[in-house]
Chain A
Amino acid sequence: KQEVTQIPAALSVPEGENLVLNCSFTDSAIYNLQWFRQDPGKGLTSLLLIQSSQREQTSGRLNASLDKSSGRSTLYIAASQPGDSATYLCAVIWWGNKLVFGAGTILRVKS
């Protein structure tokens, strides 16, 4: 059974810091991996999709890497801002486009 773990569960940093969120999965037979952001009481916003053949993907201040063989992905956020405060979710995509989610990392960026 695929299990996805995200570390840390919560993170509080001062504005301007660079930070790394970690995601690990137990079965490397994934299609792709997707990172989402969720604001309190809201839906999921897609941040980055990394295809299984890729090593990393970048969007603005966000960079996500994927190492399928070791079952790990990281989301790097550069120069964090208070507006980045949210819960960040990692999900692996299996056959049938089914997602298995991690429990998320709650990020607070202090101004």
Chain B
Amino acid sequence: NAGVTQTPKFQVLKTGQSMTLQCAQDMNHEYMSWYRQDPGMGLRLIHYSVGAGITDQGEVPNGYNVSRSTTEDFPLRLLSAAPSQTSVYFCASSNPGGYNEQFFGPGTRLTVL
């Protein structure tokens, strides 16, 4: 049981480049979400999904795109990278219900030059 996995661990992009951050979970969780962590700002929600085919915006969605075609995968796409998107990105998964413990991946550290 690998839990929540994220690839790559590190990435350096140039301004204007696009890329996809991968996230996968093997716990059959319905809910998945993406957060970014910045010094002094804490963790903030980018996008989330409550099931395959259903996504919605979080607090800081601009410049990011998501889709959820399977229960297991929830990729985050940067359409045209900007230096302001330099951050550490975390993916999380959970199930609905009373005991909705959140499980996080190890993160992707992204630098945009």
Contacts and interface: CB of A to CB of B under 8 A. Distances in A.
B43 A101 contact: yes
A99 B102 contact: yes
A60 interface: no
B100 interface: yes
A107 to B, nearest CB: 16
Contact of B43 (A32, A42, A51, A99): A99
Size category of the A interface is 20 to 34
B103 A46 contact: yes
Given A43-B105, A93-B100, A98 B58 contact: yes
Interface in B82-104: 90, 92, 94, 96, 98-104
A99 B100 contact: no
Given A46-B101, A91-B102, A96 B35 contact: no
Interface of B: 31, 33, 35, 40, 42-45, 48, 50, 56, 58, 90, 92, 94, 96, 98-107
Interface of A: 31-32, 34, 36, 42-44, 46, 49, 51, 53, 89, 91, 93, 96-104
